[in-house]
Amino acid sequence: MENSAWLSLIAIIWPWQYAHPRGAKASANRMVVPMASSMGSFYHLFATKVDLGLAMLDAFFERNNEIVKEAPDASGDARARALALADHLVSSAGAMWGGGCLLGTFALELAETNPTVAATVSAKFRKLASTLAEGFAPLAEAGEGDGAAQLAEEFIVAVEGSLILARAHSDWGYVDRALARFRRSAGIAR
pLDDT band at 32 (very low <50, low <70, confident <90, very high): low
- The reported pLDDT for the residue numbered 177 is 92
Greatest CA span in the chain, whole angstroms?
57
pLDDT at 161: 92
- Chain length of the chain: 190
Q: What is the rounded CA–CA span in Å between residue 131 and residue 135?
A: 6
- pLDDT over 60 (residue 165): yes
In this structure, of 28-37, 42-51, 139-148, the range with the lowest mean pLDDT score is 28-37
Domain 49-185 CATH assignment equals 2.130.10.10 = no
Stretch 49-74: mean pLDDT: 83
d(CA 99, CA 101): 7
Determine the average pLDDT of the residues in 132-158: 83
DSSP alpha helix (H) spans, the chain: 3-17, 28-32, 39-45, 49-69, 78-91, 93-97, 102-109, 115-141, 148-169, 173-185
* Residue from 20, 103, 16, 126 nearest 54 by CA: 103
**Structural domain spans, the chain:** 49-185
pLDDT over threshold 80, residue 156: yes
Quote the mean pLDDT of the chain.
77
Digit-coded pLDDT (tens) for 3-26: 555 455 455 444 434 444 434 445
